[in-house]
Chains A and B, each alone.
Chain A
């Protein structure tokens, strides 16, 4: 059962709600392989993508997801919006709402931006990334991809490597993975692991090669060079020596370990190019599944009558 009005984060999602989203996404995946990749489920609905931060994958994925469900999708990016003229975020949202959209998808550099907007508008809000807070659709597509490859999530070991402190993907993933019964281990330079994160029920370590022997999934994070990362490292080369996923590191892991990366990838810094091409890397499958997961969310958030009589 899924009865949420918004999707602001994975923190508030139950095991049941996540399972519903993943099951629905399973059924939607096939639509993208049809000769006509479109169903009329959201005909006449309007979805606004409001992106105040750069994005290729997430924005395109939401746009394609909406269009495959026959919704009208409108994209607004930060530099081309009235925010440049000094309009504040809530006024922008209220003005967009005055045109009766059915869903607003919001990405903003400010943590909590989506939640703030959701308190001022009536239409459902999907958080597509807010500052260092959450990026729930990325976590859900990660879970979908893991479940598809492994069959179930309960009891799996995942190691997440890199800039934990500035990653909204990690936070959303930790909430969702703990809810689904996975064991989460975080690895990274001490400057990039926030104090007290172990209170989220995860274990923390600094030695990448030492911990990966029993892991089922390795998730590499992007070094966020446009954010604070460069002040937290003595050099990128040193980071790369300690935390880059190379075939040498991978020799210590299980044969069937899965490799994830939320993208975009800094090749050679977090992960070596030969591993990205290997069979164990599901980086592009994550992208494919992202469309199905976002279709499922749009369908679930916009509801529908439960009338299955003849």
Chain B
């Protein structure tokens, strides 16, 4: 069974609130950069950059990160994950970096992303913003900005769809135990 937990409007409100919280915490947008984790995190980051521009009239730098090469579960046997382009065409030295992802789960992707960012330079700080925090952390990682906390079972799958990537804005919880076989 799929149950929608966030609608298009909910997502839009969450993005707006996260944007305000980022600006409040960092006292504006100077010295701020956003880095989105591919694919949906990058889409969210792009939306937040646009919102920041609407509010502050400032275009903050936007980077895109593919963390596959930093994952801790790369090993022989199964099919290779496709590597997408990473693009951080600006210096991170001394910047406040807000890392954006769609779903925070075990925290392992974020660990990989932090390691990747540090290889690009020494930022003043790294903050974390996510649309969904579904719990079940396996590493000591906590988000600074959360769209919505959703308690899930570990077996569930949280599916985030973004208009730019999937044609519509929606967040669903998919329970594999109750999915009907067509």
Contact = CB atoms under 8 A, between A and B. Distances in A.
Interface in A167-207: none
A35 B89 CA distance: 11
Contact of B78 (A24, A41, A304): A304
A220 B124 CA distance: 51
A307 interface: yes
B25 interface: no
Interface residues of B, number: 34
B79 interface: yes
Contacts of B105: 309-310
A309 B85 CA distance: 19
Chain B interface secondary structure, helix, strand, loop or mixed?
A: loop
Interface in B109-144: 109, 115-116, 119-121, 134
A305 B73 contact: yes
Contacts, number: 85
B167 interface: no
A302 interface: yes
A296 B119 CA distance: 20
A15 B8 CA distance: 40
B58 interface: no
A303 B119 contact: no
Nearest to B66: A27
Interface string A53-71: 0000000000000000100
Interface residues of A, number: 30
A97 interface: no
A265 interface: no
A26 B82 CA distance: 11
A23 B105 CA distance: 29
A23 B84 CA distance: 8
A41 B81 CA distance: 12
Contact of A299 (B78, B83, B86): B83
A8 B158 CA distance: 42
B75 interface: yes
B69 interface: yes
Q: Which 7 A-B pairs have the closest CB atoms?
A: A310-B105, A41-B69, A310-B103, A39-B69, A304-B74, A306-B79, A27-B83
23 contacts: A24-B83, A27-B66, A34-B119, A34-B120, A36-B119, A36-B120, A39-B69, A40-B115, A41-B68, A41-B70, A41-B74, A69-B69, A299-B83, A303-B79, A304-B71, A304-B79, A305-B78, A306-B78, A306-B79, A307-B81, A308-B81, A309-B157, A310-B104
